């Protein structure tokens, strides 16, 4: 039996990167999976891949920066399947800004995608779980940078640190409803989005990934499929009673000094 047999899983930001890896892992674990994204092409391509492999999947077009679209993504899943059992908030905005050069517009963009969207998706998903008096699970993909981060990630860090607080607050509020809510602080990860970010903001060349990997303790960046397997574990009953945990999934140790 799969860890998520017959579960209905919504992966927000699931059309690429870590979210797409979570969708693939959830289908392998037996779940029915819906993925959201702003652009239909990658979302529909992923759904075609998953269904061709024998899974059940659907694409929901949604911009998670819009609170109403965040809520409606959950509503569409509930309409399709009658319920939602698991939610993964994997959408993220990583555009650069320091304390001194971040504009109000850039700050608002980060809050919208990295905090407000997850808030209202969680609101809708947990409301369905509580309304049915059924257990459920939520995993928020956060970032190890939320502990402080680089100077050029000021608005990103501010929003993601807020998501840590939200994760713990919501977990505490709904533990008696048997709704478990946890977060994953992922480190530097090898995704399509990271490749684009390195090229756009840091002038990276074609060999940036190999050079970056050589500077890391494990000799590689975080891998989306490895993160995805951990997310599936947290979504499943195999993770037991754990709730309100924000786990550092990184090869750098907080507080460790050389």
Q: How many residues would you count in the chain?
A: 258
User: Which entry of 120, 156, 188, 249 is annotated as an active-site residue?
Assistant: 156
d(CA 114, CA 92): 6
Strands 246-249 and 56-61: unpaired
> What is the residue-wise DSSP string for the chain?
--TTTT-EEEEETTTSHHHHHHHHHHHHTT-EEEEEES-HHHHHHHHHHHHHTT-EEEEEE--TTSHHHHHHHHHHHHHHHS---EEEE-------B-TTT--HHHHHHHHIIIIIHHHHHHHHHHHHHHHTT--EEEEEE--GGGGS--TTBHHHHHHHHHHHHHHHHHHHHTGGGTEEEEEEEE-SB--HHHHHHHHHHH---TTHHHHHHHTSTTSS-B-HHHHHHHHHHHHSGGGTT--S-EEEESSSPTT---
Quick check: 222 and 250 in contact, CB under 8 A? yes
Q: Is 156 a catalytic residue?
A: yes
Annotated catalytic sites, by residue?
Answer: 156
């Amino acid at each position: 039996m799969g860890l998520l047999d017959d579960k209905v899983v919504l992966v927000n930001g699931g059309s690429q990167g870590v979210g797409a890896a979570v969708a693939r892992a959830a289908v392998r674990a037996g779940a029915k999976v819906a993925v959201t994204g702003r652009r239909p092409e990658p979302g529909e391509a992923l759904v075609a891949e998953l269904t061709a492999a024998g899974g059940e999947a659907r694409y929901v077009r949604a911009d998670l920066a819009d609170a109403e679209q965040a809520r409606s993504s959950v509503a569409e899943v509930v309409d399709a399947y009658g319920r939602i059992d698991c939610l993964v908030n994997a959408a993220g905005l990583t555009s650069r800004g320091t304390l001194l050069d971040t504009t109000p517009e850039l700050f608002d963009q980060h809050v919208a995608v990295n905090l407000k969207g997850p808030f209202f998706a969680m609101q809708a998903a947990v409301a369905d779980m509580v309304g049915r008096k059924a257990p459920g699970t939520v995993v928020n993909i956060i970032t190890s940078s939320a502990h402080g981060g680089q100077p050029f990630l000021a608005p990103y860090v501010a929003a993601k640190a807020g998501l840590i607080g939200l994760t713990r607050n919501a977990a505490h509020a709904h533990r008696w409803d048997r709704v478990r809510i946890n977060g994953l602080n992922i480190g530097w990860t090898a995704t399509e989005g990271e490749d684009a970010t390195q090229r756009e903001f840091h002038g990276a060349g074609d060999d940036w990934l190999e050079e970056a990997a050589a500077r890391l303790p494990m000799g590689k960046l975080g891998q989306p499929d490895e993160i995805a397997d951990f997310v599936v574990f947290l979504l499943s009953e195999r993770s037991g009673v754990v709730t309100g945990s924000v786990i550092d999934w990184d090869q750098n140790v907080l507080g460790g000094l050389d």
